[in-house]
Structure 1
């Protein structure tokens, strides 16, 4: 039975018990977890608040060594953690291993940032006076994460937040509770003092209620959230009432433009991975391929052939994708399939893979899990739900364009702004697309999915509020700038009022 942890100790609760199951084998119970109530989350924030000041007083390079310890522990347990990710959320084992490596990379990067939490010395306009800036931790951060990347994405928040001297209350997704428990155990054994990291398992409504109360009591100073746009809006509104700016990493409808100058085989390879990797359940998954009309038919023929020949099934084996993450995502994905209309063109079956709706070459037994057919829908366009809305499943739309300006307009039309891609051999196309696209991330001749630990990650519009994770840019989420004005002249000097003025001879003219 998994439990929440407050102040370094497991909490005995009398709440509802839920079960986390393997989505590839629904009869395989991975874990059971007791849900916390709203007051538990508030108590976790109090625990974090008590621990935070002492943790902030630990020199940043020493905090960096703790982060290095965590990375070493993750690396030493990498295969076990990857196998758990595959078992609990159904991610293909190769992807799970890559996800665990991302934690290691993140820790390695932020070890160095412990020695680079730089401030500045700023010249003063007054004599005998020095100006300085310092980074200060924000205080207590409440981090709420999704389960499609159950260990990598939490590390994007936890590692920099802890490095910067904050204490954390972490609320993971319930369908990845076992992965969260494993992450917590690895982190605290890296040398974190009790109370610096607290883990709370709770449902969405309870989390929102507890967060609201903790904000009211002044116990939370930063909120980080990865999840749906709808929930992100609600969290943004709640934080706004407390004059806080949360870190919101939300959904995406990520476009891929394929120009007439593209390497079509490379574009197909990118679309296959971007659209169907993790069964299309990434925030960076490909939403719509926007193909130049002159190469549409050839691209579509090759893309369909690649999808038809891809291995799908048992995630412990070498497959393109495995099951959907959880029953709730299966329900929402089936709703998205209902958006396919008479004007759209679809080849092949829709819905769940089963004995009555088989897939050739399926790896394993489709009857054991939440396995769904890959779907390509040609002919989508503005006004279609399928074009406008995130589907979060193995479905990719296709449309055409004539000019690159039209392609950019189509790419921006859904209002998301997370990831994007363009396939072309024309440099002019690349820079025209980069200037015009609203996305926070642009790939050239590469997939919409895939991020490196030292590059800023985040989106705009319906995809987020402009905050960025990863790399040095995330430090601005978990620190506040403090300005220091030190006057050692022995008298009061008034800025702007006593500045020495050097007069110019404005009457001078060149002969």
Structure 2
């Protein structure tokens, strides 16, 4: 991996704990990072301290007036250059993401492609920050709305997508005129350092302050500090529901803004009329892609009783063909979990499911041997379950999927909607009425609803996010940009008199 780090100019003097010259370095405890792929060290870095945090915030606040004063298309041009820089580094950065996080190389490269795509989207958006014009009830008055940047945007991202979710937020925030402070997961700091270095080079080439994009490596304490900081206008946080509730409470107390993308417990409904040739690969990728560590991973299969046995047979056969190992080997379908703590949670969840009446149909084991020496590799697992098992309503970040039968579509939708989370959902059916019912107001209660595609793999053109304990926020495409700006309603009087609204008369 040193070759990858060197290509990204992350040679040891850059990321060693003995240096602290960059504004994302700290004076706190040393963080040592090992790859879940083989257990080998990636490097070490100091966590940020109180004084470094103050310094980063000062740099961000200093950069904001200059950045927001640039016309939005000029800000878009900087983001365009960043996208081109990512294109040049796609292979190296994709490998780093794969090795540091453990996802397959194809998924690592795909994550970098997501960054490139959102940069392209943001460039176009920089010329489309539209406001409405409304008709005033008063003669010779013009009423309209316009949008202004918020200021400093804080981004807290999770380990499972070490770079893409940051880019979703940062690219949009930048073209809207904001500056950003990014706290990546302390489990995957080097992918974040690489991105920061790439964007810093773009800023330097354009003689712009580095404070437009800031990186801080810290633990949950720093995340709490960001949430409480009144100088951060918006916090966009990705992570567990527990973490999101804490952020929402803290930000809400100071009447700040937040975007929350939290837990998912995503279901696929397979109807009597489903095409299993479509459904099986979508289910398998949704359940085992990123080793089940996506917020959109498929965790529940709700299968019509007439399809249950055939689908189960096909799934067990497909699982038996999966190759598990080094994610940098393109022949492998699944890599490791992020760390041994995740493995422990995997084992605990399986034990709990069995205690509650579940039956393992495939998997359920931690893999051993030289290939799996890091101790982070597990077998993807299928568990036959019932809807009243409490564990089914719990999200476990691991390749575990629960399968259960249903009799009619109304029952299936009720089962799908019965969990606290509401991120992604899917139905496989060739029945138009079932598809439309699933998409109607009596259907899926999730932020994402798909027909004949799986729960995982959202495109950047659509707003991404969910309901209920998923947080209710939206990132990426559509009109999600509005969350990164403040709306201002303006009325301009070009008459010679002063008429009041609602016909009110006021005489002096």
Q: Fold conserved (TM > 0.5)?
A: yes
Alignment of 1:277 with 2:289, yes or no, is yes
Q: How many residues align?
A: 481
Distance 1:139 1:65 in 2: 20
Residue 13 of structure 1 pairs with residue 18 of structure 2: no
Match of 1:136 among 140, 144, 148: 148
1:170-319 alignment to 2 at 5 Å? 170-191=182-203, 192-212=208-228, 214-215=229-230, 219-317=231-329, 318-319=331-332
**Residue segments in structure 1 that go unaligned for 5+ positions in a row:** 356-363, 500-511
What's the offset of the Cα at 1:347? Answer: 3.1
Work out which of the residue numbers 406, 410, 413 in structure 2 matches 1:405. Answer: 410
Partner of residue 456, structure 1? 463
Counterpart residue number, 1:491: 497
Which 5+ residue runs of structure 2 have no aligned equivalent? 1-13
Q: Deviations over 1:101-139 (max 9, x none)?
A: 111111111101111111222221112211121110111
Secondary structure in 2 matching 1:131? strand
| CA shift for structure 1 position 338 | 2.4
Q: In the TM superposition, what are the counterparts of 1:81-100 in structure 2 within 5 Å?
A: 81-100=93-112
Which residue does the alignment assign to 2:480?
474
Tell whether 2:172 aligns with 1:160: yes
Task: State the alpha-carbon separation in 1 of the partners of residues 301 and 362 from structure 2.
Answer: 19
The equivalent position to 1:392 in structure 2, one of 365, 385, 397, is 397
Distance (Å, rounded) in 2 between the aligned partners of 1:14 and 1:250: 30
RMSD: 1.8
Residue 445 of structure 2 is aligned to residue 438 of structure 1? yes
Out of 66, 73, 90, the position equivalent to 1:78 is: 90
Distance 2:66 2:490 in 1: 22
- In 1, are the aligned partners of 2:298 and 2:455 still within 8 Å (CA)? yes
SS at match of 1:168: strand
Change in CA separation of 1:110 and 1:437 when aligned onto 2, cut-off 3 Å: same
Deviation at 1:467, TM superposition (A): 1.8
Counterparts of 2:132 and 2:121, CA distance in 1: 22
Contact 1:42-1:210 at 8 Å conserved across structures: no
**What is aligned with 2:365?**
351
- Contact 1:3/1:201 (CA < 8 Å) preserved in 2? no
**Distance of 1:269 and 1:210 partners within structure 2:** 41
Equivalents in 2 of 1:310, 1:24: separation in Å? 17
2:3 aligned residue: none
Asked if the contact 1:382/1:413 (under 8 Å) is kept, the reply is: no
Q: Which residue of 1 aligns with 2:9?
A: none
| Contact 1:24–1:314 under 8 Å retained in 2 | yes
> What is the alpha-carbon distance in structure 2 between the residues aligned to residue 391 and residue 487 of structure 1?
58
For 1:120 and 1:352, how far apart are their aligned partners in 2? 57
Range that drifts further, 35-44 or 307-316: 35-44
- Could you tell which deviates more after superposition, 488-497 or 228-237? 488-497
| Distance in structure 2 (CA, Å) of the matches to 1:42 and 1:444 | 48
